[in-house]
Structures are given as C-alpha cells and as structure tokens.
Chains A and B, each alone.
Chain A
Amino acid sequence: MNLAWADAACFLPEIVVIATAAIGLMLERPLRRVQSDVGSWIALAGLALAGVVTLRFSPSGDALGGIFVRDAFTSTFELAAIGVGTLATLLGSSFLRAVDYRRTEFFPILLLTITGVMIAAGARDFLLLFVGLEILALGGATLLGFFTPNEKSREALMKSFITSGIATAFLLLGFAFVFGVTGSTHYDEVATRVAAHAGTGHPFLELGFGLVVVSLLVRIMAFPFNMYAADALQGAPGPAAGAFSVATVLGGFAALFRIFEEAGAASCNVEWSILLGIAAGSTMVLSSLYATYQDNVKRMLSYATLAHVGFLLAGFAVAYSPKLSAAQSEAVLSAVVFYLLGFVFLQAGAFAIISAVFFGRRFGEYLAEFRGLGRRCPVAGLAYVAIFLSLAGFPPTFVFLAKVQILGAALQAEMFVLTAAAIVGSLIGAFYHLRVLVVMYFRENPHAPGVIPSVPLVTAMTLVTVGVVGIGIFPEKALQTAIESVRVLF
C-alpha cells in the first residue's frame, strides 16, 4: 500500500475542507483586528469549493488500501455535511455580529467538525471510523462550548464531553472485541468472519457489536442518552447547537449504515430490530412528552430534534426486521437517508429561529418572547411557518413523506408498538410546534424586538425555507439520491 495521487484524489473534498480550516486558523489572529465577516467568507468559499469537488472532480473508488471508499453513499453524506457547514457558517456569522465579532475561530472548528462526518461516511475500517467519529466528537464538543463566557454554554460542553468520552471508550472496547473474533478491522474481512459465525454466533461478536451500537446511539443522541443531549443543545449557542446536532446525527447514522450493511453487524445473532426499536420508540415518545411542557423554545426544539432522531432510528430498526424482504429493507433505508437529507435543512431552520431575535445580551428563546413576531416581521414569519410546519411533519413537507414510508414499512414488518409510538410522538409533535405559531400570530407584544436584519441570517433562512419546501414539493431528486446511495451498500 503506497500513498498515491489516486488516494489523495479520493480525499479531495476532505482535503479542501481541512485546508480551509487551516487557513481560517492562521488568519484568526489578524482577523481579530479588522471587524469584518472575512472569516465566514473564507469558510463559505472553502465549502463551495468542496461541494463542487464532491460533485464534479472526485473519482469513485477505494483509497488507502480500501479503508476509505468514495461511492454514492459517501458523496451524499459529504454533500449533506457541506450543507450543514454552509448553513451553520451563515448562522454563525450572524451570531458573531451580534455577540462578538472577533471570535472567528468558530468557522475552522465548524469545518473540522464536518470533516469528521465526511471521514466517518466513507470509512470502511474500524480505525478510520474511530478517527472520523473522534474528530466529529471533539470538534462538536468545542463548538457546543464555543461561547464560554456563558455559564450555560460551559455546562453544555461539560455534559456532552463526559458523555462523548464514555461513548468513545465503549466504541473502542466494542471494536476490540470484534477485532478479537475476526482478527481484522477492515469491514470486508470482518463481514466474512461474521458470516462464518452466522449460525451459532459468538459471544464476543455480539458483545462487541452491541457496545459499538450503544456508542453510536450516544452519537445520534437516542434513548437513553437523549437527556444529556437536550441539555447540551439548549446550553450551546444556537448556530453551534444546530451544527452539532446535524453533524453528530449524520456521522452516527453513516457509521450505523456501513457497520450494519458492510461489516456484517446485521447478520449477527442479535434481534437488532427489537433493541433498536425499543430505543427508537422511547426516544420519540419521551422526547415529545418532554417537549410539550417547555416554555423555552430552544429546549423544546432540542427535544424536537431528538424526536426526529427517534423516528430516523425507528426507520433503521424496521429495516432489520426479519419479516421484511431485502428490497423492502432497502426501500425503508432509502427513506431514512431521504429524511436525513431534509433533516439538515430542518435543524438549521430550527436553530436559525433561535438565533434570530436578539435582546442586546442574549437571544430570544422563551415562548413569551415570540409573541406577535409573526405580525411584526411578516416575511420572516413565513419562513417560521414553513420551518415549524416541516418540523411538525405536516403534508406536503418532506418529513411527512419520509414518515409515511417508514410507518408503512413498520406496518409490513408487523412492529405495531413502534408504529403506535411513532404516531403518538408525531401527533404530540404537531401540538407543540403549532403552539409556537399560535403565540407568534395571535398574541401581542408591541415592545419586543423583531428578527435581526442581518444578511447572513436572512440568506440562511431563505435557503432553509426553499430547502424544506422544495424537498417537500419536488422530492424526486432527493429521493433518487437517497435510493442510489443506499443501493451501493447492498
């Protein structure tokens, strides 16, 4: 195995993003003196270049002796990560304008975090996956605690950091057990050896994959780890919380997809559909219930995030039900990827809402502070309506489409309890999202400030609105992308 240009070409999008982050870090010092948005422009330019490279110039194929693969799946997740990066950069730029112009290191940290997602998406070796997830976790933790003068932000950082440290150790122990049985960390060899044990099973194998899955459940913030996640997302600055939530969910799901389909975890002697189904159902129902009695919209949206994660995980659990045929599993996994693609816009939108009203020292996040916002800012109000209706999963938004597909598959798999949990969770979700809209349009508060009129914020909100509405009305392209990216795994 020698490092050739062909390998480097496979990593081109990652290299572009990391190089941009390096430039941003080098310029951080001089940029402190000039009060401008140059930091965010550099990040945006780098992300745009990375997007173009992913779409046009990067070849498919294996790199570094097959530990990294660039295929439709990797590219889809990379584009999603770049999308998160772009939206979070815009939000972060508007956030820094309001809070402290000089903290441009936000953008390099953000870029490094999404690099973690990009590496985790293409990793076909436990060690590379470990590195990717760790870049993601460390970068994400730093993002959450980014604005440390704020006491809550520091607490968010501490909580997520301890949980993520435990998750890392579990992941590693799981890898060690799987490595012990299979003698390799490469997915192909692992899958071959797992298949050899398929009939009888091997206790270390089940323990190992179990630990890995538990660790990835922490990454995607599923039950029983959703409580820390709500704290972390509430305490962090809005743009950082949005970026972290999408990045960690994308990275975690990319790892789950590849480990189940390519490393053979699916053919292990474990009832995955039941275990994951329990985690998914509990995540959905508990998060939705907690969300209903929050008077802090940011915390409510954090729980809403977790409810979406529960639904995504439910789709994943259903796919591994023994009652579904391979084609049906593939279809429901495509629905999950489709949901994830929209989730990027959804989360950016949710946390844009949280970063949009500024009270001089802090951002508006209590329900009472949203009074009359819809009438004060009619145009922004439309964006709010689009985002909240998508979050609540009303037709014709993409969330509705994805949920219908997942529920249909769950019924075919005869997982009735999970279906019921999903429907109950969604109904509760509709209630608490609509409550905010009611407050926005039917309560008055003449003295409250409106949405910050900053260009990056408006751009981000426009992109998000176009995104959620666009994917809902014209889902064909996104669905096609999702189907193609899942197909390469089978």
Chain B
Amino acid sequence: MMLTGWLLFSLALFSIGLYAVLARRNLIAILIGIELMLNGASVNFLAFNAYLSKDPAVGQIAVLFVIGLAAAEAAIALSIILAVYRSRNAIDVAGLDELKG
C-alpha cells in the first residue's frame, strides 16, 4: 500500500508541475513547473525502485542523471530568461508571440 501512496504523491507533483507550465505566464514559474515535473518522475522511479526492483541501484542512478540534467536545463533556461529580460524588461511569455500563422 505504501507504493500506491508514493505513486500518488509523484503523480501529484507531476500534475502540479504540468499545471504550472501550462497556466503560469512567468518564465521562472514555468521553469519551476518543469523542475517539479522532473522531480515527480524521479519520485516515481525511486518508489518503483524501492518496492519492486531486483537491483536497487538502477532507480537511484536514474535519479542522479535527472538531477544532473535538471541543473543543465536550469542553466540554459536562466540564460534564456536573462536574454529575454535584457531586451524587454519583463519575463512573462505574453510578449513572445511574434511568430505565428
């Protein structure tokens, strides 16, 4: 039963993150949303790893990869946000709609 609890927790994290990405207009909030989604998936990995896996290392290695990736992604995202801020003095997505059609 513990596994179900952890799965629900990870799903909640993931859904909150997805909601933040889709609903928030602020680029930092969107970035945090993406990180939440990644963390939700990581918790999922760890829960399965702890309760079901034969090899307890695999899920933990996966999460280490995710942490490394999240750091790289945050670095790139923050540099984009800085570039956007420098040119427009604002960091919401509302103005990023020049390309369409």
Contact = CB atoms under 8 A, between A and B. Distances in A.
Interface in A137-193: 138, 141-142, 145, 148, 151-152, 154-159, 161-162, 165-166, 168-169, 172-173, 175-177, 179-180, 183-185
Given A165-B37, A183-B53, 11 more contacts: A127-B61, A127-B62, A142-B76, A145-B80, A152-B99, A165-B34, A169-B18, A169-B40, A179-B48, A180-B44, A294-B101
Contacts of A294: 101
Interface in B9-39: 10, 14, 17-18, 21, 27, 30-31, 34, 37-38
Contacts of B72: 134, 138
A172 B58 contact: no
Contacts of A299: 101
A290 B87 CA distance: 30
Interface of B: 10, 14, 17-18, 21, 27, 30-31, 34, 37-38, 40-42, 44-45, 47-49, 52-55, 58-59, 61-62, 65-66, 69, 72-73, 76-77, 80, 83-84, 87, 93, 96-101
A66 to B, nearest CB: 14
Given A138-B76, A155-B98, A172-B38, A185 B18 contact: no
A130 interface: yes
Nearest to B51: A180
A126 B48 CA distance: 15
Nearest to A232: B99
B57 to A, nearest CB: 11
Q: Is the interface of A mostly helix, strand, loop or mixed?
A: helix
Where chain B touches its partner, the secondary structure class is: helix
A171 to B, nearest CB: 8
Contacts of A165: 21, 31, 34, 37, 73, 77
A151 B17 contact: no
A138 to B, nearest CB: 6
Contacts of A169: 14, 17-18, 34, 37-38, 40-41
B27 A235 contact: no
A241 to B, nearest CB: 12
Contacts of B34: 162, 165-166, 168-169
A154 B52 CA distance: 44
B2 to A, nearest CB: 14
A162 B21 contact: yes
Contacts of B40: 169, 173
